[in-house]
Amino acid sequence: MLRFRQGAKTRWMGLGPRDLFTLTEAKRRALPYRQLVHDKVDPIEARRRERTKQTMVTFGTAAERYAAAHKAGWSSKKHATNFTQQLKLHAKGIWDRPVGSVKANDVVAILEPLWASKPTTAGKLRSRLARVLDWAAHAGYREGPNPASWKGALEHRLPPLGRVQIVVPRRAIAEAPAVYAKLKALDSTAAKVIRLIALTAARPSEAREARAGEFDLDAAVWTVPPERAKSRRPHRVPLAPEAVALLRPVLASVGRSGLLFAGQAPGRPISDVAVRALLRDVAGPDSDLHGWRSTARTWMADNGWPSDVAEAALAHVVGSKLVQAYQRSDFFEQRVALMKAWSDYLAGGPK
């Protein structure tokens, strides 16, 4: 309790339950009210007005006022419109509520459905929620920490967006042998990149950025270094005779440390855009480079290849950390036979 004198009268003001606040916290809460007493202001009436003020301004009103206050510094009127429209769409549950009543559970309920499925949208939405709530606090419409802040708030409730993994279904390459035959008839750099992706089931970036020093054609092995592998561990890729035949002339035209598939910019690989454009020209507008991996995995399953061998061929990390600690084999010998069979299927042309 805060005791203060107003004129000749002694008054008492509650500062909160004794079991919730320590003496130090009570003194901190009392300080601004003691300052009001010093300025001849009734602290009880001031607190009542403040609470009334907080219940009068809704979150929606706060969002619109924030946008109006900052739109002069934004690049376009469209940005201001998008700012409020996104909040109205996703935060409709709190739009008409007093901004001072918005709690952490409200923010999590808004963000959680988008956090894993649409992380870019979720990140932008979280930032906008935090800015509106910060504005409301500085305008005197709410008290306490910002429940939409990452540090000290949401970091305890949601995983970091950078670690959220999205699994996107990849459309398989229809008539894969026929598409491969069309690519083989072309002599462009993009066609060679796609053929390497197809023959090895490699990730597109691993093939585009491949360097000569990663290949041992005599041993028929391509070793993707850990810094370029998604798993952050070396990945040995068996090269079938079709892949070796593709790579020999390519390797002969570059130095040992050079890029296999150089782009127009010096020291840079061919662009992802150029490679994807060619695939869509050859295989259809809905085709995707990752579709080769999807197609290969389906073919492996349909032809009875063991799941562990197939997953190793795609450089997938399977199982818990405990399982990975005991499962050290990369099934290389089995994958030699697997990639030979897969290559024969592709290079055999349409049946």
Q: Let me know if residue 171 belongs to a domain.
A: no
- Tell me the average pLDDT across 298-304: 94
What local confidence, expressed as pLDDT, does residue 218 receive? 96
Is the model more confident about 86 or about 264? 86
Least confident piece of the model among 19-28, 185-194, 238-247, 337-346: 19-28
Return d(Cα 202, Cα 292) in angstroms, integer: 9
pLDDT of residue 19: 76
170 in any annotated domain? no
pLDDT at 338: 96
- Grade residue 54 by pLDDT with cuts at 50, 70 and 90: low
* Strand duo 221-224 + 215-216: pairing: antiparallel
Alpha-carbon distance of 120 to 141, in angstroms, equals 29
Same-domain pairing of 19 and 157: no
Range with the lowest mean pLDDT among 2-11, 160-169, 222-231, 289-298?
A: 160-169
Percent of the chain exceeding pLDDT 70 equals 89
Task: Assess whether pLDDT exceeds 80 at residue 144.
Answer: yes
- What b/e readout covers 60-85, taking b as 16+ CB neighbours within 10 angstroms? bbbbbbbbeeeeeeeeeeeebeebbe
Both 189 and 325 in one domain: the answer is: yes
pLDDT in tens, 92-121: 999 999 998 999 999 999 999 999 888 889
Using the predicted structure, report yes or no on whether residue 351 has a pLDDT greater than 70.
no
In a domain, 265, yes or no: yes
Residues 6+ apart with CB under 8 A from 272: 204, 205, 208, 289
Residues 331 and 183 in one domain: yes
What pLDDT is stored for residue 343 in this prediction? 96
Please tell me whether residues 182 and 324 are part of one structural domain: yes
Taking each continuous run of H as one helix and of E as one strand, the counts in the chain are 16, 5
- Answer with the one of 163, 185, 214 that is the final residue of a domain: 163
C-alpha distances out from residue 172 to 145, 179, 287, 289, 340, Å: 49, 12, 8, 9, 20
Q: What is the spatial distance between Cα 146 and Cα 131, in angstroms, rounded to a whole number?
A: 9
pLDDT of residue 321: 47
Residue 319 scores a pLDDT above 60:
no
**Has residue 129 been placed in a domain?**
yes
pLDDT of residue 325: 42
Q: Are residues 45 and 120 in the same domain?
A: no
Residues 297, 331 within the same domain:
yes
User: Per the structure block, which two tokens stand in for 166?
Assistant: 């999205």
Looking at the fold, whether 48 and 95 belong to one and the same domain comes out as no
User: Domain ends where: 11, 36, 56?
Assistant: 56
Instruction: Verify that 232 and 265 share a domain, yes or no.
Output: yes
Span 172-181, pLDDT tens digits: 788 999 999 9
pLDDT at 327 over 90: no
Counting every residue, how long is the chain? 351
Q: Are residues 184 and 289 in the same domain?
A: yes
Mean pLDDT of the chain: 87
The pLDDT assigned to 164 comes to: 58
Residue 127 inside a domain? The answer is yes
Amino acid 15: pLDDT: 78
Q: Among residues 217, 54, 206, 216, which one has the least CA distance to residue 144?
A: 54
pLDDT higher than threshold 60 for residue 349: no
Q: What is the pLDDT of residue 317?
A: 64
Q: What is the pLDDT of residue 278?
A: 97
Query: Which phi and psi (to 5°) does residue 105 adopt?
Result: -65, -35
Q: Which domain holds residue 48?
A: 2-56
Given a contact cutoff of 8 angstroms between Cβ atoms, the answer to whether 294 and 172 are in contact is: yes
- Which of 150-154, 225-229, 230-234, 298-302 comes out lowest in average pLDDT? 230-234
Q: pLDDT: is 163 or 70 the higher one?
A: 70
**307 and 333 Cβ atoms separated by less than 8 Å:** no
pTM of the model: 0.53
164 or 158, which is more confident: 158
Per DSSP, what are the bridge partners of residue 269?
262
**Is 70 or 44 the better-scoring residue by pLDDT?**
70
- Residue-wise pLDDT for 11-27, tens only, equals 888 777 777 778 888 88
Do 32 and 94 share a domain, yes or no?
no
Query: Are 19 and 110 within one domain?
Result: no
Share of the chain above pLDDT 90, in %: 59
| Cα–Cα distance, 108 to 126 (Å, whole number) | 9
Domain boundary among the residues 35, 56, 77 is at 56
Q: Which helix (H) or strand (E) holds 338?
A: helix 332-347
Q: How far apart are CA 165 and CA 169, in angstroms?
A: 13
Question: What residues contact residue 254 under an 8 Å CB cut-off, 6+ apart?
Answer: 212, 260, 262
How many structural domains is the chain composed of? 3
pLDDT score of 322 more than 70? no
Tell me the average pLDDT across 137-145. 90
Are both 271 and 337 inside the same structural domain? Answer: yes
- Token couple for 224: 């993707």
With tokens 């150089």, the residue in question is 262
**Residue 184's CATH number:** 1.10.443.10
What pLDDT is recorded for position 265? 84
